[in-house]
């Protein structure tokens, strides 16, 4: 009995981590035998480790366990400026598990005498650890130590523990708390104003939101959308010629392209007709193409979108899993620098164990010195994203393998030599008109071979040419074209726009873009703003333009950076935020009826758009939408002109699974298609045309296959 009580009262070190996976890795890294014991209490996992004579308990959080909420429980009133930090289960529906989690942490804290914040070393991780230590551990944030690490490798976790920082980074925490509170003030007041206006007008609830970063981001998209919709194309001509040299035929461009009038284009073509070409000048330049910079989070997300079409949020989630598996460094970084302390040689030796990278790693290790090509951006918390060289402990899925391979090859490429590239510019005269020909060829691959297959192949070799050489002109023609509207943003280019404008953070930008999709403000990979999204921006522009200004958002970001530097206070920033929002909320409330009417109409139209399959192939001016029969409850696609009594077109749809418009037409018949998802079968596009030739081909193939099997 006495021994049991002694063990119960024995003091230990309590480490708080951000996620269960991190808790496991830290516990096993710190245990002297490498065999930490996993325990559970009321379903909450934690780990017990023994380090020499020291007892250690490692308990994880589940991300943020505390959040900002209103001081009063009224959920629909605004403006609201009084707030408090509370456990998430008191502010969010469906977060009841948090109550048990915090209770277990509090009980584990009772017998601890040393407290360490072992959460990820960034703003969010610092806030998570601070709140748990302050509220669940009864004010231990004042005496707690801080672990700082960029990877979850065994070596770095041990070093982080032996060299813990003596205290939490309170300046960073203060800036992070302020950001959360400012964002809550913006989000709760503006979102409630929009949601209440629509609900009070229509009687139906629909979640509408905007915020400090969300508003300006949607404004970028709205501006581009309106310029696309208002775009008036103009005609122009491009003049091209085909010439032959050394048995090769190649295209050359008229130097004054584009030509604005048909008369000028025809005059140039006529003056070239029947004429021989001659090489006027050849300008050759050899230049060095430096290796790329190491990945920061934004460039990783942009590159993953370019190569794999992964959204920024997808890439962040995949990178986070790879980090928790100790395969890459912490991904939420804005750094483009790789300090020597990460151990270049050690990582390359580990990578060399993989046959796929063996040759490249050996080549880099043979260099007299390893020096990465670094960018200007730095992050005091973490270096650029890099691979640890560890072998995966589990089987990675397809998308995880792609992102890991991309990070590995980028890491090796930054140590490569500059590529040597030759560019050639040739001027060719045809009938007194100058045409231009560009060529490009890689002479020395340098870093390019390390980054394959992710390098764009831009080589365009030219046949041997000399000045004065005569060329046979095969063809000269003027191509009629029309100017195109501005390109739509995609998730990658929108992320770069947010970075350029300085709004949001490396950790939040992907989530903001995803929220715009979730709110039905935008749709499609080539982002199109819905009528609902346009209407939300219109309301903001009319009644509170300042809150969708990227300048205002950028200034607030600068103030929060100043808080971290000790040059600004949390109190001043919050007071000024409230002063900005007070007149905004008042104006929105005064115009609630007008705003509600316009938003309700937009919501109604948006819901119809979500169900619209495409144009009706019979009446042409109606739209096919996904409907359900009131009598049978069955799903079908019907024409909107049915309600006008002018068209009765309808097509059956699958009754199982999820059916949504695909936005595409059938390659066989040109009719609209729907996207069907069925558990166990995945996604496929289905043409609604029962007489589609592709369906008939498929049916004949099935019949033939069945006949062959019968004969066998």
> Would you call 84 helix, strand, or coil by DSSP?
strand
**Tally of CB atoms within 10 A around 691:** 9
Known catalytic residue: 236?
no
H-type helices in 452-591, by residue range? Answer: 491-501, 509-518, 531-543, 550-565, 570-590
Helix or strand holding residue 705 (H, E)? helix 693-711
Alpha-carbon distance of 233 to 242, in angstroms, equals: 28
Q: How far is CA 461 from CA 119, 246, 420, 471, 473, in A?
A: 53, 13, 14, 17, 20
Alpha-carbon distance of 44 to 40, in angstroms, equals: 5
Among residues 11, 48, 2, 10, the alpha carbon closest in space to that of 26 is found at: 48
Residue with tokens 């193939």: 701
The one catalytic residue in 121, 135, 186, 330 is: 330
- Tell me the torsion sign for CA atoms 108, 114, 119, 124: positive
Buried b (16+ CB within 10 A) or exposed e, 510-539: bbbbbbbeebbbbbeeebbbbbbbbbbbeb
Alpha-carbon distance of 28 to 35, in angstroms, equals: 6
Alpha-carbon distance of 92 to 88, in angstroms, equals: 6
Alpha-carbon distance of 578 to 211, in angstroms, equals: 14
Structural contact between residues 177 and 184, judged by C-beta atoms closer than 8 angstroms: no
Q: How far is CA 44 from CA 50, 100, 116, 325, in A?
A: 20, 8, 19, 21
Among residues 135, 117, 1, the alpha carbon closest in space to that of 59 is found at: 117
Could you write out the DSSP letters of every residue in 495-529?
HHHHHHHT-S-TTTHHHHHHHHHHTTSEETTTTEE
**Tally of CB atoms within 10 A around 452:** 12
Structural contact between residues 477 and 240, judged by C-beta atoms closer than 8 angstroms: yes
Question: Does residue 453 have a cis peptide bond before it, meaning omega lies within 30 degrees of 0?
Answer: yes
User: CB-side exposure of 144: number of CA atoms within 13 Å?
Assistant: 27
DSSP state of 121: S
Alpha-carbon distance of 106 to 135, in angstroms, equals: 9
246: left (phi over 0), alpha (psi -120 to 50) or beta: left
Q: Which residues 6+ apart lie within 8 Å of 430 measured at CB?
A: 241, 243, 272, 275, 276, 277, 278, 473, 476
Alpha-carbon distance of 63 to 474, in angstroms, equals: 67
Number of H helices, E strands in the chain: 21, 23
User: CB-side exposure of 10: number of CA atoms within 13 Å?
Assistant: 14
> How long is the chain?
712
Could you write out the DSSP letters of every residue in 299-353?
HHHHHHHHHH---HHHHHHHHHHHHHTTSB--S--------GGG-HHHHHHHHTT
**Catalytic residue numbers, as ranges:** 330
């Amino acid at each position: 009995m006495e021994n049991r009580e002694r063990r119960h009262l024995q003091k230990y070190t309590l480490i708080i981590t951000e996620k269960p996976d991190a808790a496991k890795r830290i516990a096993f890294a710190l245990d002297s035998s490498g065999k930490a014991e996993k325990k559970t209490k009321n379903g909450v996992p934690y780990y017990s480790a023994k380090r020499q004579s020291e007892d250690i308990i490692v308990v994880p959080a589940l991300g943020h366990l505390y959040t900002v909420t209103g001081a009063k429980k009224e959920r629909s009133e605004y403006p609201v400026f009084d707030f408090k930090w509370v456990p998430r289960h008191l502010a969010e529906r469906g977060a009841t598990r948090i109550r048990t989690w915090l209770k277990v942490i509090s009980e584990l804290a009772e017998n601890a005498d040393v407290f360490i914040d072992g959460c990820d070393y960034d703003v969010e991780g610092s806030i998570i650890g601070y709140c748990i230590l302050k509220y669940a551990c009864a004010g231990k944030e004042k005496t707690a130590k801080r672990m700082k690490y960029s990877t979850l490798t065994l070596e770095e976790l041990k070093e982080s523990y032996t060299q813990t920082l003596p205290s939490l980074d309170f300046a960073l925490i203060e800036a992070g708390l302020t950001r959360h509170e400012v964002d809550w003030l913006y989000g709760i007041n503006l979102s409630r104003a929009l949601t209440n206006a629509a609900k009070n007008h229509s009687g139906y609830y629909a979640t509408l939101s905007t915020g400090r970063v969300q508003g300006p981001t949607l404004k970028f998209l709205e501006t581009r959308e309106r310029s696309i919709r208002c775009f008036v194309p103009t005609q122009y001509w491009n003049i091209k010629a085909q010439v032959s040299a050394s048995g090769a035929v190649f295209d050359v461009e008229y130097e004054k392209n584009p030509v604005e009038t048909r008369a000028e284009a025809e005059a140039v073509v006529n003056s070239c007709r029947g004429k021989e070409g001659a090489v006027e000048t050849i300008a050759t330049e050899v230049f060095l193409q430096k290796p790329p910079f190491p990945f920061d989070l934004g460039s990783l997300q942009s590159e993953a979108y370019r190569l794999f079409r992964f959204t920024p949020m997808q890439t962040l989630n995949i990178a986070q899993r790879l980090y928790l598996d100790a395969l890459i460094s912490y991904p939420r970084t804005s750094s483009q620098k790789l300090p020597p302390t990460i151990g270049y040689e050690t990582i390359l030796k580990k990578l060399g164990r993989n046959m796929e990278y063996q040759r490249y790693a050996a080549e880099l290790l043979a260099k007299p010195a390893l020096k990465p090509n670094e960018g200007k951006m730095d992050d005091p918390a973490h270096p650029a994203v890099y691979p640890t060289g560890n072998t995966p402990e589990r089987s990675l899925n397809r998308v995880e393998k792609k992102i890991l391979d991309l990070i590995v090859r980028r890491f090796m490429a930054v140590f490569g030599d500059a590529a040597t590239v030759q560019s050639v510019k040739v001027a060719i005269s045809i009938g007194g008109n100058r045409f231009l020909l560009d060529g490009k060829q890689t002479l020395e691959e340098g870093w390019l071979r390390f980054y394959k297959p992710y390098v764009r192949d831009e080589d365009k070799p030219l046949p041997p040419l000399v000045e004065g050489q005569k060329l046979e002109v095969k063809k000269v023609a003027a191509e009629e074209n029309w100017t195109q509207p501005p390109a739509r943003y995609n998730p990658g280019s929108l992320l770069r726009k947010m970075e350029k404008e300085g709004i949001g953070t490396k950790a939040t930008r992907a989530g903001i873009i995803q929220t715009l999709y979730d709110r039905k403000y935008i749709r499609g990979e080539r982002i199109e703003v819905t009528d609902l999204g346009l209407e939300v921006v219109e309301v903001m522009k009319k009644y509170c333009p300042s809150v969708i200004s990227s300048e205002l958002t950028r200034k607030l970001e600068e103030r929060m950076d100043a808080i971290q530097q000790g040059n600004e206070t949390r109190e001043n920033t919050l007071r000024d935020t409230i002063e900005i929002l007070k007149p905004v909320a008042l104006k929105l409330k005064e115009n609630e009826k007008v705003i509600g009417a316009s938003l309700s109409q937009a919501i109604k139209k948006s819901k119809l758009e979500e169900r619209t399959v495409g144009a009706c192939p019979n009446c042409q001016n109606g739209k096919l939408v996904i409907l359900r029969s009131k009598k049978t409850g069955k799903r079908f696609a019907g024409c909107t002109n049915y309600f006008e009594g002018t068209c009765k077109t309808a097509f059956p749809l699958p009754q199982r699974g999820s059916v949504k418009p695909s936005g595409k037409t059938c390659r066989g018949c040109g009719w609209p298609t729907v996207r069907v998802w069925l558990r166990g079968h995945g996604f496929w596009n289905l043409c609604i045309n029962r007489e589609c030739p592709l369906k008939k081909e498929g049916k004949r193939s099935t019949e033939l296959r069945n006949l062959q099997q019968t004969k066998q």
